[in-house]
Amino acid sequence: MCSTLDTVLALHRLANTVVRYNDYLVDYRSDYKGIVLETSTPLDNYRERETKRLYCDANWEAIRTALAEKIATRYTRYTGSSLETEDQLDQAAEALESVVNTTLEELVPRTKPLLYAKR
């Protein structure tokens, strides 16, 4: 006696976009089979997950030098004047955060993606 039960759990938004589903063709000699699910939803917003940064391998002296140069040349309007309002302080903080983030993006290496990591 053999029986099967196909169960697919999905949100209503996803359920309305299902084009087809079927059993996965490869038999792994297991108690269950995988299901192939095809939807009409475009994957335009999908992007690969970024790997972690290797801060321990970063050249911190080069980062300090690059930050000093960028702050001295591009963001001098906040260093010479006093910050009198909250808006001026917010703008200066955002500018500093932006330059630090872009510098770290450029100079801190990322880990290599693992071959067998979850996707």
At residue 113's C-alpha, the angle toward residues 30 and 105, to 5°, is: 150
| 98, HSE (Cβ side, Cα atoms, 13 Å) | 8
**Which of 4, 27, 7 lies closest to 15, judged by CA?**
7
Q: Is the pLDDT of residue 62 over 70?
A: yes
Q: Is 28 inside a domain boundary?
A: no
In a domain, 103, yes or no: yes
For the chain, the average pLDDT equals: 78
Residue-range definition of the domain harbouring residue 64:
55-107
pLDDT at 60 (0 to 100): 95
**What is the average pLDDT across 17-41?**
75
Q: Which pLDDT does position 63 carry in this prediction?
A: 94
Gap between the Cα atoms of 43 and 28, Å rounded: 29
Q: Is residue 45 part of a domain?
A: no
Determine which helix (DSSP H) or strand (DSSP E) holds 20, and give its type and residue range. Answer: strand 18-23
In the chain, the number of structural domains is 1
The pLDDT score that the predictor gives to residue 72 is 83
Q: Please write the tens of the pLDDT for every residue from 68-93.
A: 998 887 665 555 567 788 888 888 88
Nearest to 12 by CA among 54, 47, 41: 41
pLDDT at position 45 over 80: no
